[in-house]
Amino acid sequence: MRYSAIITLCLFSYCIAHATTWNVGPTRAYTFCSQVVSLVQDGDSILIDFSTYINDPQVQWTKNNLYIAGVGGRPRLEAGNIIANDMSNGKGIFVIKGANVHVHNIEFANAVVQDNNGAGIRQEGANLWISNCLFNGNEMGILGGNIPDCKTTIEYCEFVNSGSPANPGYQHNIYINHIDTLVFRYNYTHNSIAEGHELKSRATYNFILYNRIANEDSEDSRTIDLPNGGTSVIVGNIIEQGPNSANSNLLGYGLEGLSNPSPHALYCTSNTFINKKTTGSFIQVANGTDTLYVKNNIFAGPKTGGLFIGTPIVLDSSNNEINNSIDAIGFVDASGYDYHLEPTSVVVDKGIGISKTVHGYSLHPLLSYVDTCNFETRKLFGSVDIGAFEFEFPVATIENEFPGISIFPNPVNEFLYIHLKDIGHADAFLKIINISGETLLTQRIQEGENSINVAGWSSGVYFAGILLGSRMEFRRIVVI
């Protein structure tokens, strides 16, 4: 065993030492990827200079452990007539046949082929990692094949306008076939056309974390489609159906048969589901699904077909905010696709703590999606908020303190008075929390005198947070 490890280490060191970097660009010896692909060996790097590359033939990467990346900016690989007219092997722009390939910082555009499945990337090798890429106007953004013992990771990527009007309903922004695991995180997939899905995956395990998965104004189908069951964890996403969607169901699970290995369990926590159609349902599962676990989600918009459709064996649902009116939730700007929370949102501090993990992925929201294709740490202040975002009062600085705030009496045993002056047209909000960080009160206040009845509150220290516009100040108060 010891000698085997030494041999493996020596081979790895040899490969690293002898790996070659191939540069592609308008001023390089190789001006297209197709000119270098036959020279590449296992472990090599292919660096593509920032430029637009139009009408290169399809490139099949057959070697393992490759790193293919754009440098100096994100180069655009734009398919043209050569790929469109390739009758023998037309699959798309890149075909990844090797294992353990990493594709980074490249735009794939306008892939169209004879069978209408033209992909930015066609995956045929195991363990593909795609990061910081843009897939724009292809028939398929990524099309993954049936690959055993495969983990595909897609992160920090944008997908837009995939689909084929020549074959409506069969092409999607992302279409992953039967693999072991899909990790899909920090991505923005939107506006699939011609009744395509924003994300479709037949993987046995799906971990869909902190993405924006949205139809804004195109005619797509489901926002997420997981047609063969298995285990799926969906945490911290914005999942939106637009008014023109051809399918009134946002999330489908097991609807082509529970053919993946069991258990068939769907976990949805801390997502913001938005339906902007006048009809629809939010989650549909196959009858006989083992577990549907749904907590701390916002379901905003019409549910004329029902909130959940299908009969799981176990339904574990709590602390969800369900409202036919999107405006009733208290979003910053739902019409402008901003689903962050106002201070008076009905979901602030209404969630429940979740300690459960599934295959190492927490069902408690640790991060929040950030446009475009990024994330940030989700900070808790009080109890967890329902949905994909946590309302966070801005932290005051010395420069931002307000001389026009008076709070009295302090200590207080009955009425606490908060007097504001010279606040102009700024909106003002008050949030009171106890020493444990629990929120007791959130409300709008106005210029002049505001009173809060604290009679009956337990004696102790509390904090009053006053938000004016984008500035925040905290005051310590004592109830006796």
pLDDT at 11 over 60: no
Mean of the per-residue pLDDT values of the chain? 92
3-state secondary structure of 96: strand
Residue 399's pLDDT is 39
pLDDT at 84 over 90: yes
Residue 315: C-alpha distances to residues 139, 286, 290, 309, 448 (Å)? 37, 13, 9, 12, 49
User: pTM for the whole thing?
Assistant: 0.86
Residue 432: C-alpha distances to residues 7, 263, 414, 470, 477 (Å)? 64, 44, 15, 18, 10
What is the Cα–Cα distance from 264 to 286, expressed in whole angstroms? 10
How does pLDDT run across 386-445, given as a tens digit for each residue? 999 998 766 544 334 566 788 889 888 899 999 888 777 678 888 888 876 678 888 989
The full set of domain ranges for the chain reads 2-377, 398-479
Q: What is the rounded average pLDDT of the residues 179-195?
A: 98
**Other CB atoms within 10 A of residue 392 CB:** 16
The two three-digit tokens of residue 464, written as one number: 């009053």
More confident residue, 442 or 250: 250
Predicted confidence band of residue 272 (pLDDT cuts 50, 70, 90)? very high
More confident residue, 425 or 214: 214
Say if residue 409 is preceded by a cis peptide, omega within 30 of 0.
Answer: yes
Distance of CA 70 to the CA centre of its chain: 23
pLDDT at 367 over 60: yes
Distance of CA 433 to the CA centre of its chain: 31
Residue 462's pLDDT is 86
Using alpha carbons, select from 261, 262, 233, 259 the residue that is nearest to residue 251: 233
Q: What secondary structure does DSSP assign to 239-306, as a single string?
A: EEE-TT-S-SEEEEESTT---SSSP-EEEEES-EEEE-SSS-EEEEE-TT-SEEEEES-EEES--TTE
Residue 403's pLDDT is 63
pLDDT at 9 over 70: no
What is the Cα–Cα distance from 12 to 319, expressed in whole angstroms? 51
Residue 394's pLDDT is 60
Residue 361's pLDDT is 94
The two three-digit tokens of residue 257, written as one number: 């048969």
Predicted confidence band of residue 369 (pLDDT cuts 50, 70, 90)? very high
pLDDT at 305 over 50: yes
Residue 401's pLDDT is 53
Q: What is the rounded average pLDDT of the residues 217-221?
A: 96
Using alpha carbons, select from 185, 167, 163, 187 the residue that is nearest to residue 175: 163
Instruction: Return the residue matching tokens 């489908």.
Output: 252
Cβ distance 392 to 379 under 8 Å? yes
Predicted confidence band of residue 14 (pLDDT cuts 50, 70, 90)? very low
Residue 400's pLDDT is 46
CATH class of the domain defined by 398-479: mainly beta
Residue 396's pLDDT is 46
Q: b/e per residue, 349-372, with b = 16+ CB within 10 A?
A: bbbeebeeebeebbbbbebbbeee
Q: What architecture is the 2-377 domain classified under in CATH?
A: 3 Solenoid (2.160)
pLDDT at 176 over 90: yes
pLDDT at 13 over 50: no
**Other CB atoms within 10 A of residue 13 CB:** 10
pLDDT at 6 over 60: no
More confident residue, 314 or 439: 314
**In the 8-state DSSP scheme, what is residue 342?**
P
Residue 380's pLDDT is 79
Cβ distance 65 to 99 under 8 Å? yes
Predicted confidence band of residue 379 (pLDDT cuts 50, 70, 90)? confident
